[in-house]
Structure formats: C-alpha cells, structure tokens
Amino acid sequence: MERVVDLDQAAAAIAERAARWLAAGLKAGRLTWRDEAASWPQQLETDRALVRDPDSIGVLISGPAGAELSVVLFRGGWADVDFVASLEDAGTLPASDIDSAAAFGTQLDQWVPLVFGDLRDK
C-alpha cells in the first residue's frame, strides 16, 4: 500500500485533541495499530513498539447516551469512519483523499461535532 499519511503523525493529531475531547465529556479509547508485515490474519496492537510496518491506526471515541465514532485511518490516504449518534442516527462518513496527518486532524475536527455536537457548548 502506498504511504500517503505518516501514521505516527496521525497518532499525534489524535493525542493533540484527546484532552479537548475529555473536557467535553468524550473518551478516546486506546489507539490500535495494524502491521502490514504481520502474517494474516493481522492482529490489532495497542503497543506501537510491536508494529514494524504500520498500515492503519484506529481510535474509538465514545460520548454520552452511547454515541460513538470509530475511525480507522489507512496510510494510503483514506479512512473507515462509522458512527452512532443516536438510535435513529448512525452510519458511515466519507473519508477519502486524506493526504497528510494535518488533513486527518482537520477531518477529525469535522467528524467529532457531526456525531457529538459542538464541543464548545459542553
């Protein structure tokens, strides 16, 4: 898979936002890493040191009333983004053409309010 996004920098983008999310009543779960070099089926690791050639990083963000945002970013420049905002509002969000960790951070800043509302109001 082509290396478009530096996943270590993407992890830093998540970490930069975690305190703000926590202050707003959200919880970011442990990061998960998948190793391209691992044998199939590849296991998800929470310890970055165990991953030689990361090809994805994931995080689950949880909020009140069971709301969740699951983001898995692939180094090729796309993400799988699933959410549950309420029983009536769940689905996937578009996430392609992510060309840097900074662009990923910008996407996070758009996805989180879509699921959990404006964090400035919390």
Q: Residue 97 to residues 4, 52, 87: CA-CA distances in angstroms?
A: 9, 25, 30
Give the bridge partners for 61, in sequence order.
28, 69
Output the pTM of the full model.
0.94
The answer, yes or no, to whether residue 122 has pLDDT greater than 70, is no
Q: What is the pLDDT of residues 24-81, one digit of tens each?
A: 999 999 999 999 999 999 999 999 999 999 999 999 999 999 999 999 999 999 999 9
59 close to 71: Cβ distance less than 8 angstroms: yes
